[in-house]
Each structure stands twice: as structure tokens, then as C-alpha cells.
Structure 1
Amino acid sequence: MRPRVAAAAGGAIALVVALGACSENTGEGTTVDTNRQQSGVIATDPKDSQGPAAEVSGAQKGGTLTIIRETPISHLDPQRTYSFAGLMANPLFARYLTTWKDDGKGGLVLVGDLAETPGTNVNKDCKVWEFKIKDGVKFEDGRPITSKEIAYGIARSFDPDLSGGPTYIQEWLADSPEFDTKWDFKKNKTSLPPGLSTPDDKTLRFEFAKPRCDLPFAVSLPTTAPLPPDKDTGVNLDKQPFSSGPYKIAKNQTGVQITLDRNPNWDPNTDPVRHQYPDQFVWSFGPTADAANNRVIADNGADQSAHAFNAVPASLVARVAGDASLKSRSILSPTPSANQLVINNQRVKDLKIRQALNYAIDREGLIKALGGQTVAAPLTTLMPPATIGYKAYEAYPAGPNGDMAKVKELLGGQTPELVLGVADNTTEQQEGAQLKANLERAGFKITLRNISDDAKLDEIKKKDNPWDLYIGNWAADWPSGASILPVLYDGRTIKAEGNSNQSYFNDPTINAEMDRILAMPPADQGPEWAKLDERIMKEHAPVVPLFVDVAYNVHGSKVGGVFISSVFGYSSFVNAYVKP
């Protein structure tokens, strides 16, 4: 779980959960279907976890599909992968214990990937889990994948030199955020962290001190990618990961280009989600978002089978939206990334002021200032529509532009003076200026204070930070309230620095309710998180929900099968193919 990094002004900023909707542009204008509700379940029938994946209509084998991105992928090593580009590239060459079947329309099913099922809750208390490994799964050199290589992959994620990836499993096994001090990988390379065991080659077992009912979701992240110990090159694995997926790294020109060829030892009969349609994938780095999108729009030569990973920039939105020939080559979709005006509850203690801020907000004006509906869609809940069990509500119904009469009533003649901390990047400067004007019209006095962009996240995570308000966003690592509400609003996690709870909200009854829901089976949690979402907002108003990010991408005329991931909000390539 983590906040997203701000994108360039006007560009779509997309992430980590499941989408409320995903719609291909049809020529009727740039509209986003925000009414379709995402659904997600954990598969109970082992057949759902079997391969092969359902064939994609119209897909053919052959060709090279090029993915153009401005900056290189930060990590290819699965245990270190946590960037969105990395999370979309990894499934081409790495498999995990579980994964998501994603229809690209908001429907998700969690299935076994390397595992036969999404896991067995052995004692029905979420403290002991077992996964049985499939027969026939192999590495790129043909050797079988067993529980031991998966366990080794998890064990190496404890190495502080291999940081950067998710830490759920490590923290849960160690029962501590300081997992790398609880078990030393370098001193124990031939053993496993306490709580992780391999009773046999087919069985991987987790034992936790506390219930961890979300484990089937957590093991869908790259932490559980397998690796034989003799192929572990430490930090150099970033250059040449060892494949367990349908493709393998054929060539890596660091920072320039990554070429992936088919892995002949991948068996489609074991894989419920991936295909092996193109002969080759090429990730090409360097062109700006404008340059990449212009190349794809021009649709010449090899760019006919290229996809621009960077979203359509503001400078090209009107052109793409207005060109009927591009409608079949563009994808417009809301993402799971939720943005808020975060209220520092330690400093803004008056509930009426926090409620007044919610009534004051002009979401329509803010979205227009940021670039319109190809950038953002309004949000009035803590969890985005992508979340399993999501329920739409508006705790402070103010219409699209705010309810100034209600603000005046709540303020009762006060003119609250608040400091809004804003990163010094273009996007947040635009957002901050609009929010200042909006809130001052409503009766607040707002002072803008710039924060260095590269320091902002660290600074607002400090408990004693000097701002009353700041702009925040959050994208979960799986489509559950469990990876949103406890992370952002459990007051027991507040410490001196490094806080994800940046509103510094703490209520014992809310904390207890989180514990109750977390101990429930994941399939039962969705509606309970939705109820808690509404309760937190109505009783406490710790933040002002603003908008969810929208993804807007274009591809060449010969690209097929690309969709926006319902989990991560970026282009997924598991169904991609090249048209003849």
C-alpha cells in the first residue's frame, strides 16, 4: 500500500485496486462509465485456478509488441517490484502464489497462480495458511518450481539490500514492522523466516501470531515469485530476473530497452490468466509522454504495434478526443487511486470545521482546473468505487460546486485560518491554487506553504508537521477496504515519523471495529468496510474526498487485447496481441 507519485500537470494519474469501470472510447465523446460497479471474489472452485486462460477473441500469435515509456522501470527483481510499470511488466515473466482474473470491466476473481487454489485457511482462524503448488510449473531452464523456490523468494525479501517491494508478508511473519531485524536473511540463507515452512515440495505453509485473513490477496504480489537459490544474483537480479512466466528477459539494455522472448518451458495448461500471443515484447524507454503518444497517434511502421504506457498528456487530449479514427485505439477508464484534501486532525480539532470543509469543496471546479474528465472523476467516499463492497454515499451533500449556506451555518461567523501545504510540482500548485480560491470563497482564510516535491511525502508523515491541510492520494494493493481504512485511519499506528495515517485520526471505537472486520473471512469483509467508511466520514470527517484518477491511453492500430488493470489502474498486457 502506498500513495501514488504525482504525474505531470493535466496527465492522467492512475493505481492499486480494482476499477469501478473500464470503457473503450466509442466516438460519443470522452466519457467515463463511473456507474459500473467493480466486483471481486476469491475462487472456491479449483477449476477456476486451472489453465489455460480463456482465449481472447480475435487474438493471433506472432509479432512484436512495443511498450513506450518515458522513464525506465525502477526494479525488475520481483521481490523489489513496487512501481506500477514494474507491476505491469512482472506478470510477463514472473508468476506468484495467487493472481487476479480480470475481465477489464470491473470483474475480478482471485485464483491460484502457482498454487492450486487461493489457499487453505487451515484452522479457520486465519493464523495458519497452506498453499499446494501445481504440477507442471517450470522455470525458464525447465526445472520444476516447488514450494522451496517460492519460500526462498519470500525469504530473500527480508534482505535490507533488496528493499523496495511490498512488506506485508515479511511484517506478518515477523509480527513487526521491523521485520529485517527479527530475521537476518544474510545469516540464514539456507533456512526460512520463522512461520514460513515447506513440509514437502508441494506445500507452502504460513503460521502467524495474529489472524491474517487477507493473505490470499497479499500473496498475489511479486513477493511470492519463485527463485532457485543458485540463480540469486542479489541486487543484480534487477538486470536479469529468472523467468517463471510466459516470457523471459532476452536482453536488457539498462535504461534504454528490455526485450522479452517467449519462454518455451511455460505451460499454458497451468496458467489461468496469461497468454503467449506476441513473439516478443519490447519495453522502450526515453520518449516524453508527448513524443510517445504522437508516435502512436501517427501509427507509422513499427509504431502500429506500439502502446504508449504514459497517458495522453493534456496537450493532446483535445486532438485524441476529437479524432474519430482514434476512438478504437484509445482507452478511457477510472482507476482505483483516490485523492483527498487531508485534514491534520491534531491541529484541526473542531468537527464542525472539518465538516464545513467537506461542504465547501467545489469538485467540479477542481477537476476542470486539473484537465477535466480525462484526468479525474469526483469522489465523496474514503474508498474508491474500485473497492470490493463499495457503497456510494455523500455524507455532506453539497452538489458539484459546494453548499456555501451550509458552510456558513457550521462556521457560525468564524473565519478559520488554515495552512495548506502544497508540493512544488506543477500539478499540486494548480490544485492548491484552486482549493485556496474555493475555500476562501466559502469563508476560510487559507495560507499556501510550498513543500519540496521530493520531501513532501516524508514531511507530511511526521507527526509534528506544521500544516493543517495537505493534498494526499492513496491506492491499495488489492481491492479491499483492508488495504485502505486500517492503513490510513488506525490511530494505533501513529508514530513520530513515517506515518501512513497522515490525518492523525485516532478513535478507539473505530480502531476496534477495524480489528473486528480484519478477523472476518475476506469474502465477508466488503460490506463491513463500506459501512465503516460511511461511519468514519459522518462521525469524524477526517479528510475531504476529492476525486479518483482516470487513465487515458492510446495504442497503434495493430495492438489488441490491452486493457486497464482493475487492480493497478495501468495498462495490462496479459491478453495483448499483435494484429496481422
Structure 2
Amino acid sequence: MKRILAAIGLGLLLVACWGCGAAPRPDTVSYVLEAEPSRLDPAMTTALPESNVELQIFEGLTRLDDHDVPQPALAASWQISPDGKVYTFYLRDGICWSDGTPITAQDIEYSWKRVLNPDVASENAYMLFCIDKAEAYFNRQARADEVGVTALDDKTLQVRLTNPTAYFLNLTAFHCYYPVPKHVVEARPDTWAADAETMVCSGPYKITAWNHSSQIDMVKNDAYWDAGAVVLDRLEFPISDSQATRLTLVESGQANMTVEPPPSEQERLEALGLYKIAPYLGSYYYVFNVQKPPFDDVNVRRAFAAAVRREELVRYVVRAQKEAAYAWVPPGIVDEKTGRDFREEGGDLAVEDEAAARAYLKAAGYDEDHPLPEVTILFNTNEMHKAIAEAMQSMWKDALGADVFLANQESKVFLATRSQGDYQIARASWIADYVDPMTFLDVFADRDNDARYHNVIYNNLVQAAKETNDPALRRQYMHEAEQILFDDCVIIPIYYTTQPYVVQPYVKGYHWSPLGVVDFKRAYLEDQKG
């Protein structure tokens, strides 16, 4: 999604278009988005620029705090049945949309069922499949009124789950669970989420202007239930897909925050105190097509996996303070009861050993007299993906004598090629949808996963983890499932993701979620906090 360094000259030209050198207002945080939001319908969007804007203007039943724990938001409280399958949410008194219309439990029932409606065809529908009959409704095998979401009255919402879902409260803070204003959506179904004039909001801020491909402006939403906690009067979101332009805007004082500065600028920005790293719950990895020769042989997969030198790759190619990955689920998912990190408990699962790599290859029947067939790495067009692929190509040539070729495709074509299984090995990345190991383990429990991988024992462990209400047993099942992924060598994890960004030091109070979004609800400028 991120673009590579653009011409500085173009950046300076674009900078001139934003205010002709004017600094941000003293009551305003200005965050430069890396792309124009396609729309701001939380049921339909999947990219981070949209999610970042939506977090400021919408509210879920819960909202993640600075420790990424869901706290009461539109819901003042809730009850959970002893079996963990029924949640009853009690909405706050007096909550309303930015146009003054009350927010009701019926709005939430409507919004969640809209995400699941097969005619709406939301790519986020799977996020609600933990709800009873939700997946069946999406697949046209059940009616909407059979789905386990019911408004008992204006202020009470009851949710029935298929199985106990330990992370369900986290899900209610995710963007596709935000309620949307039914009275606006149905009146303007095609335009309500693409025009400032028709955007009705429920979050800390509301949109006042949206100059497409240029800037989104917001002001504090006085109708927000927690408006007293919102310090800033305004937010601005200039838009540029150029790393150089975004950085220039921040350094020139025309904005004060943005993501993904050019990697070549890291040391200089660190010296200036502008360069920061936020946690980002994700993994960059290579995935094998386990049904495509020669990787239909687990020993060949193990050979290629054991020949990777991650620390060297991260230090000299990737940089940006990434952490070499030796497992699938990244660090940063802490058990609330034990205080232990899932990754710390599970330890490293990947092995680097060139001698073992050559032994695996020999066990698969390949040697000097029986060389490997040609292997091709598939990646989507991006300079960093290319650089990593070239490094992997070199490592596999050195350790295994493998002839490895590179193939790059434009992102949409690449994703289609991968989903169709028309590749041998490909780059991939996965960013958590919620803060729980299941968001990673579920990726390979699906018969239609990109790896073409299907292991009954793995699937049964993942399902058992979903069905149990015992936290310790659930964690045990997930650790066992993750180990199977490495026994079967389905992936080669390369690094755990981070979110590099630049910010002026006077901007305070914002919170980066490990899901990749930044919350400005309590943000302030240092000299006005008081």
C-alpha cells in the first residue's frame, strides 16, 4: 500500500498548494494521509487511510484505551452469559448522531446486519461470522431475522454467538462494527459516505469539508457523548501518496504528523527528534503454495526456510527498526489474566541452519546430480518487496544452489494470482484485525487459504480454541496449532511489522493502536494543555 520515494520537486510543488507556507492553526493537529479515502463507510472500507479517518468520526459499542483494552463507549455496560455465548449491551443515555438524531440499539442491529447482507457484499463480513447465523445469512442460507443480533428496546442490544469468543469485545471496537446512521444511509445510499455534506458522525470529531485528493477537515463533535475529553478544536488530514511530499509538509510546519517517511531519511530524522516507531501487530512473510512443485514436498519447504538469514536481511535491507520474525504470531498480544505475551510463551519456532537446509534438500532427492527445478518468487511491485526478493534469491543460491527467478505484478493482479494459487512462493503480510492470536491462526484454517494448505489436526485445534471458554486451554490449543504450521513449513516469517512515523514533538496525547490506526480523541498541543 505504501508508495516509494517520489521526486522532491513534485513534493515541493504540492506543498505550495497547501496554504502557501501557512503553519497549522494552534488548535489543530494536521496529519498527512498516505492516500485518498475511497469512501468513509466503515462497513465497506479495508485500507488504513479510511480506518484512520473513521476512528475519529465514528464510535463503536467499545473503544480501545491506551493499553488497547476495550472500554465502554456507546455502550455504558454489558453482561456476558456464563457460557460466554450471549452478550447484552446497555447503551448510554442521550447518545446521538452529529445531526441530533438519537443513536439506538436498532441502529446497531441495522448496521451489523448491513455488513452481513449478501447484496451489500462487504469484504468485512467475515469479521462478524462469530455471531450466530451470521455466516449462513451472508451465504444466503438464513434470513436476516435469524442472525443473533436483536435490539430488545431502544437502549438494549442482545448478541448471540456461535461459540464463546474471547476477543468479541475487541471486535466491537473495530470499524465494521461501528453503527452507521440508517436515516442517512437509506436516504442517500450511493453518496452518504463520500461527501462532507452528507456525513453524519458519532465520534469525537465531525467532517466539515472534504476536498477530494487534497484534504479532509474536521471539528470537534459537540454531540459526542464524551465531548469533554476531546481537547482539540480541529483536525486536518491533507492527502498525498508521495513519501517525500508528506515529509516535507511536516518538516516545513504545514502539517505536524505523517507515516512512512522515506527509509533513507531515518538517521537524519532521528537526529532531529522527529522519527518515531509505533507498534504494529503484523508479520511480513513468504508463503509456499504447498500443492505446487517443488514445494509440495515438505522437505523442500524446510530447506528453503532454514536457509534464510533474517537478521542480515532486516539490518541491511528492511531497516525501519523491524524485528526479525521466528514465528507467526507477533509479540504484543498479552494475556490480561497472566500478563504474559503469547510470543514470549511460545518462543521461536523457525530455525536457521544452512547445513540442515542442505540435508532437507538431499532428503527430498535433490543434489548436484539431481538439481532443483526453477523456482520463482512472486511479489507485488514495490521497491522494498523487490529488494527483499533479491536478498532471498541470493541466500537460496548460496545455500542451496537454487536457480530462483523474480516475478512482480501490479497489486490487484498479484492478489488475484495468489488467491488462484498460480505461484510457487510469494511475499505476503498480515496485519491483525483484532488483538488476539486467533486473527493470525485463522488465516490458515480456511480451505481456501492462499497456501492451499489443509491440515485436519490444525483445523481442529483452531476450532477447539474457538469453542472453549477456558482461557488457559484456549491458549494451549493456539500454541499447538502454531507449532503445526512450522512442522508443516507453510510459511517463512521474515519480520514483525512496525509503523514508522514522523511527528513534531509538541503533539501529545495521541495513541497508536497495534492495528495500525492512530486515535486523536485525547490529542493536544503541548503549549495549550492546561
TM-score normalised by the shorter chain: which range applies? 0.7 to 0.9
Separation (CA, whole Å) in 2 of partners of 1:241 and 1:108: 27
Structure 1 equivalent of residue 243 of structure 2: 289
Residue 73, structure 1, aligned to residue 23, structure 2: no
* Correspondence for 1:21: none
Letter in 1 for 2:247: N
Other-structure match for 2:4: 8
Cross-structure match for 1:108: 68
Please give the alpha-carbon distance, in whole angstroms, between the structure 2 residues aligned to 1:295 and 1:526: 47
TM-score by length of 1: 0.76
Counterpart of 2:10 in structure 1 is: none
Structure 1 residues 221 and 426, CA gap change in structure 2 (3 angstroms):
same
2:387 matches 1:430: yes
Tell me, yes or no, if the aligned pair for 1:98 and 1:219 is still in contact at 8 Å.
Answer: yes
Q: Is the 8 A contact 1:62 1:279 kept in 2?
A: no
User: Equivalent residues in 2 for 1:138-153 (5 A)?
Assistant: 138-153=96-111
How far did residue 462 of structure 1 move?
Answer: 1.3
For 1:147 and 1:228, the matched residues in 2 are separated by 12
Quick check: 1:316 aligned with 2:265?
yes
How far apart are residue 485 of structure 1 and its match? 0.6
Q: Distance in 2 between matches of 1:522 and 1:474?
A: 27
Q: How far apart are the structure 2 equivalents of 1:62 and 1:373?
A: 31
Identify which range, 250-259 or 137-146, moves more after superposition: 137-146
Task: Give the one of 494, 500, 513 matched to 1:565.
Answer: 513
- Superposed, 1:375-394 pairs within 5 Å as 376-388=322-334, 389-392=341-344, 393-394=347-348
Q: Is the 8 A contact 1:480 1:526 kept in 2?
A: no
C-alpha distance 206-66 of structure 1, shift in aligned 2 (>3 A): same
Give CA deviations for 1:213-247 in whole Å, capped at 9, x if unaligned.
54323222123323343222213121243111221
Contact 1:6 1:427 in 2 (8 A): no
Alignment map for 1:76-91 (pairs within 5 Å): 76-91=40-55
**Cα distance in 2, alignment partners of residues 517 and 164 from structure 1:** 24
What displacement does 1:512 show? 0.9
Cα distance in 2, alignment partners of residues 394 and 263 from structure 1: 46
Query: Are the structure 2 counterparts of residues 520 and 235 from structure 1 closer, same or farther at C-alpha, using a change threshold of 3 Å?
Result: farther
Structural mapping, 1:231-270, within 5 Å? 231-232=184-185, 233-238=188-193, 239=195, 240-268=198-226
Q: Residue 516 of structure 1 aligns with which residue?
A: 464
2:329 partner letter = M
Judging changes above 3 Å, is the alpha-carbon distance between structure 1 residues 194 and 341 closer, same or farther for their aligned structure 2 residues?
A: closer
Q: 1:129 is aligned with what amino acid?
A: Y
1:144-180: CA deviation from partner (whole Å, max 9, x where unpaired): 3221122222233245457354542268454437716
Query: 1:223 is matched with which residue?
Result: 176
Flag the 1:224–1:451 CA change in 2: closer, same or farther, 3 A.
Answer: closer
What are the within-5 Å matches in structure 2 for residues 296-335 of structure 1? Answer: 296-299=250-253, 302-303=254-255, 306-308=256-258, 310-321=259-270, 323=271, 326-327=272-273, 329-335=274-280
Whether 2:80 is the aligned partner of 1:121: answer yes
Q: Aligned equivalents of 2:116 and 2:523: distance in 1?
A: 34
Distance 1:508 1:173, change over 3 A: same
Distance 1:217 1:565, change over 3 A: closer
Which residue pairs with 2:492 in the alignment?
Answer: 544
Structure 1 residues 508-531: Cα deviation after superposition (integer angstroms, max 9, x where no partner): 111111111111238557733652
- Deviation, structure 1 residue 95: 0.6
> Which range moves more in the overlay, 166-175 or 340-349?
166-175
Structure 2 counterpart of 1:366, one-letter code: L
Tell me, in whole angstroms, the C-alpha distance in 2 between the residues paired with 1:162 and 1:214.
24
CA RMSD of aligned residues (A): 2.9
Q: Equivalent of 1:363, from 286, 310, 318?
A: 310
Q: Are the equivalent residues in 1 in contact too, given 2:438–2:478 (CA < 8 A)?
A: no
Asked if the contact 2:381–2:409 (Cα under 8 Å) also holds between the matched residues in 1, the reply is: yes
Letter matched to residue 111 of structure 2: G
- Report deviation, 1:434: 1.1
CA distance in structure 1 between the partners assigned to 2:245 and 2:377 by the alignment: 35
Query: Offset of 1:575 from its aligned partner?
Result: 2.7
Hey, what's the Cα distance between the residues in 2 that align with 1:408 and 1:337?
Answer: 30
* Paired residue type of 2:148: G
Q: Matches of 1:254 and 1:369 in 2, distance apart?
A: 38
CA apart distance, 1:455 = 0.8
Q: Does 1:98 align with 2:62?
A: yes
- SS of the equivalent of 1:198 reads strand
- Give the drift of 1:259: 1.2
Q: Cα–Cα, structure 1 residues 456 and 178, in superposed 2: closer, same or farther, change >3 Å?
A: farther
CA separation of 1:248/1:197 partners in 2, compared to 1, >3 Å: closer, same or farther?
same
Q: How much identity, in percent, do the aligned residues show?
A: 18
* 3-state secondary structure, aligned to 1:391: helix
Q: Indicate conservation of the 8 Å contact 1:70/1:288, yes or no.
A: yes
Whole-Å Cα distance in 1 between the matches of residues 44 and 484 of structure 2? 34
Deviations 1:444-489 (A, max 9, x none): 33233333432111111114x2x22111111121011211112x22
Match of 1:63 in 2: 27
| Cα pair distance change 1:85/1:528, threshold 3 Å | farther
**Alpha-carbon distance between aligned partners in 2 of 1:279 and 1:235, rounded to the nearest angstrom:** 30
Q: Residue 136 of structure 2 contacts residue 142 of structure 2 at CA under 8 Å; is this kept in 1?
A: no
Q: C-alpha distance in 2, partners of 1:264/1:396?
A: 51
Structure 1 residues 484 and 178: CA distance shift in structure 2, 3 A? farther
Note if 1:421 corresponds to 2:378: yes
Contact 1:353 1:410 in 2 (8 A): yes
- Cα 1:228–1:426 change in 2 (3 A) is closer
Secondary structure of the equivalent of 1:506? Answer: coil
Corresponding pairs, count: 485
Alignment partner of 1:169 out of 118, 128, 136: 128
Residue of 351, 362, 365 corresponding to 1:397: 351
Tell me what 1:410 maps to: 360
Helix, strand or coil for the counterpart of 2:152?
strand
TM-score (norm 2): 0.83
Give the one of 530, 533, 556 matched to 2:504: 556
Separation in structure 2 between the aligned mates of residue 397 and residue 524 of structure 1, nearest angstrom: 27
User: SS of the residue aligned with 2:69?
Assistant: strand
1:55 maps to which residue? none
User: Does 2:154 correspond to 1:201?
Assistant: yes
Name the residue aligned to 2:9: none
Partners of 2:139 and 2:361 lie apart in 1 by 49
